């Protein structure tokens, strides 16, 4: 049996004694049926010959950004898109630092930056280098972005030291690649719409009613959906966030604009995730000119905005609908109420306060669906989003299976 048949693995090899073990890893992956493309750093070629890896994988090894012949066959951006997973084994302290900083000064780091594929790193270095706060800080940054770490193992090192820093064994790395590839790609070919950020409801040409949503959670959810192979349209309110790779972004201002953008994108969508903090009300009339402070008080009449999520959930070709609920108290009760009232398939609830929920990097969620629930503990929004998307995939698949039977 070949469990990884035709799965596309980009194997990065950097300069360490453990580089010789990468040949065994490549062999195991090829045996599992994977298409393996090796990319080596220049210094890695001092530790293991490119010819060995070419013979094992049946593909020429790439080691340069500026190789006209290789670039003509498959350019580095194409190669970045080709990869379903990028594995770096061994990953040196220097490579981890480059990845954390987002520098792109050789082919491997450029590919990592240009790819939306999940990244798995197997660090290998001297135990003091591993324990150094600089390396640990880099690992923290990478984990926060969703990079998966395997190892390092503890034991005797090539330099004679004892401690953590040995590269994890190829069989273990292969297991981690299996897990990742089995989980990822579950939404290949599925269209997903995500709303994110706040909306702005105009009072006059210079003032608006808004809220404190940063859009971080919605953007993290959109990235996690792309990592599962989904074709994602992100409808974003006004936020200061860059567009994650592989996403179609539509920028909007008001709830009405967001409503229109969602309904334009809706035909054919399999899943709708409403992360946006949509203003429930808007000024009945936006003044055409700037309002002057002529009186002691100002009364702005507010009217209800369309409830985008409820309308999508009630639409004829209804996608799988996921809502968010931000509550200051009685989180579970209010969230269950919204699950029922809006006819949702799933709701992700979080407690908000002055210091939690909005404008911060970490969060925790209570995810509810009919007949079940799961708590996702406090962690970075990118990790949380990846876990939430795993739950969405599970429930979506369970529902599709019931509908098909």
- Total count of residues recorded for the chain: 405
Question: Which among 4, 49, 17 has a CA at the least distance from the CA of 152?
Answer: 17
Structure tokens of 126? Answer: 């001297």
Give the span between the Cα atoms of 109 and 43, in whole angstroms: 14
Q: Which residue in the set 26, 173, 192, 278 belongs to the binding site for ligand CTP (CB under 6 A)?
A: 278
By C-alpha distance, which of 388, 183, 358, 118 is closest to 271?
388
Q: Whole-number minimum distance, CB 336 to ligand CTP, in Å?
A: 12
| Beta bridge pairs of residue 363 | 379
By CB under 6 A, name the one of 235, 269, 308, 386 that touches ligand CTP: 308
Binding test (CB under 6 A) with ligand CTP, winner from 325, 367, 386, 392: 325
Smaller CB separation from ligand CTP, 57 or 199: 199
Q: Considering the rule CB under 6 A, would residue 381 count as an interface residue with ligand CTP?
A: no
- The two structure tokens encoding residue 348: 């992700």
**Residue 106 main-chain phi, psi, to 5 deg:** -150, 180
> Does 335 participate in binding ligand CTP (rule CB under 6 A)?
no
In the numeric block, the tokens 């008080």 are attached to 297
Task: Mark the segment that binds ligand CTP (CB under 6 A) among 68-76, 92-100, 304-312, 381-389.
Answer: 304-312
- C-beta of 151 vs 198, nearer to ligand CTP: 198
Q: 228 CB contacts (<8 Å, ≥6 apart)?
A: 183, 184, 185, 186, 187, 188, 389, 393
Binder among 47, 272, 324, 369 for ligand CTP (CB under 6 A): 324
Helix (H) or strand (E) holding 389: helix 381-404
Of 7-15, 232-240, 306-314, 366-374, which part binds ligand CTP (CB under 6 A)? Answer: 306-314
Of 228, 232, 227, the residue nearest 247 (C-alpha): 232
Q: Which is nearer to ligand CTP, 89 or 346 (CB)?
A: 346
Residue 255 interacts with ligand CTP (CB under 6 A): yes or no: yes
Q: Give 174 or 338: the residue with its C-beta nearer to ligand CTP.
A: 338
Largest CA distance in the chain: 82
CB of 300 to ligand CTP, least distance (A): 18
266 binds ligand CTP per the rule CB under 6 A = no
**One character per residue 190-229, x = contact with ligand CTP (rule: CB under 6 A):** -----x----------------------------------
Question: For residues 15 and 192, which CB has a smaller minimum distance to ligand CTP in the complex?
Answer: 192
Q: Counting contacts by CB under 6 A, is residue 274 touching ligand CTP?
A: yes
Among 274, 405, 244, 249, residue whose Cα is nearest residue 338: 274
Q: How many residues bind ligand CTP (CB under 6 A)?
A: 15
Among the listed residues 12, 197, 237, 323, the single contact to ligand CTP using CB under 6 A = 323
Is 307 a binder of ligand CTP (CB under 6 A)? Answer: yes
Of 142 and 309, nearer to ligand CTP (C-beta) is 309
Among 85, 187, 235, 309, binds ligand CTP (CB under 6 A): 309
Closest CA to 176 of 85, 82, 40: 85
Q: How far apart are CA 40 and CA 117, in angstroms?
A: 18
Q: For residue 362, state whether it binds ligand CTP (rule: CB under 6 A).
A: no
Q: Could you tell me if 83 and 10 are in contact, meaning their C-beta atoms sit under 8 angstroms apart? A: yes
Q: Is 159 a catalytic residue?
A: yes
Q: Which is the catalytic residue, given 112, 159, 275, 321?
A: 159
Let me know: does 124 contact 167? Beta carbons within 8 Å: yes
| Contact call for residues 301 and 326 (beta carbons, < 8 A) | no
For strands 247-251 and 231-236, give the pairing: parallel
Hey, which residues are catalytic here? 159
Instruction: Give the residues lining the site for ligand CTP (CB under 6 A).
Output: 195, 255, 274, 276, 278, 280, 305, 307-309, 323-326, 338
């Amino acid at each position: 049996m070949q469990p990884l048949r035709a799965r596309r693995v980009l194997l990065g090899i950097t300069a360490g004694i453990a580089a010789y073990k990468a040949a065994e890893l490549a062999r195991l992956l090829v045996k599992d049926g994977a298409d393996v493309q090796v990319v080596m750093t220049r210094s890695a070629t001092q530790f293991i010959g490119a010819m060995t890896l070419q013979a094992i994988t049946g593909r020429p090894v790439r080691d340069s950004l500026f190789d006209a012949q290789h670039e003509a066959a498959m350019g580095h951006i194409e190669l970045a898109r080709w990869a379903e997973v990028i594995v770096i084994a061994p990953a040196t302290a220097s490579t981890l630092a480059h990845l954390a900083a987002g520098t792109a000064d050789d082919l491997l780091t450029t590919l990592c930056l240009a790819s939306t594929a999940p990244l798995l790193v197997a660090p290998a270095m001297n135990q003091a280098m591993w324990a150094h706060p600089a390396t640990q800080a880099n690992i923290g940054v990478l984990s926060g972005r969703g990079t998966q770490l395997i190892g390092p193992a503890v034991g005797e090192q090539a330099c004679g030291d004892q401690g953590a820093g040995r590269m994890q064994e190829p069989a273990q790395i292969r297991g981690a690649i299996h897990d990742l590839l089995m989980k990822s790609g579950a939404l290949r070919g599925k269209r997903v719409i995500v709303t994110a950020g706040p909306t702005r409801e105009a009072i006059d040409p210079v003032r608006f009613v808004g809220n404190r949503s940063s859009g971080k959670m919605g953007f993290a959810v959109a990235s996690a959906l792309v990592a599962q192979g989904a074709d994602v349209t992100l409808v974003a309110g006004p936020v200061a966030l860059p567009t994650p790779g592989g996403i179609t972004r539509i920028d909007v201002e008001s709830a009405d604009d967001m409503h229109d953008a969602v309904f334009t994108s809706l035909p054919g969508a399999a899943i709708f995730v409403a992360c946006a903090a949509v203003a429930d009300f808007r000024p009945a009339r936006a003044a055409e000119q700037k309002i002057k402070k002529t009186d002691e008080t100002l009364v702005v009449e507010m009217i209800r905005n369309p409830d985008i999520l409820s309308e999508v959930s009630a639409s004829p070709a209804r996608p799988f609908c996921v809502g968010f609920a931000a509550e200051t108290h009685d989180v579970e009760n209010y969230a269950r109420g919204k699950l029922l009232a809006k006819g949702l398939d799933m709701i992700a609830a979080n407690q908000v306060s002055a210091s939690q929920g909005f404008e911060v990097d970490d969060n925790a969620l209570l995810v509810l669906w009919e007949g079940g629930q799961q708590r996702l503990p406090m962690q970075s929004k990118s990790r949380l989003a990846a876990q939430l998307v795993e739950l969405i995939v599970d429930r979506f698949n369970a529902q599709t299976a019931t509908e098909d039977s």
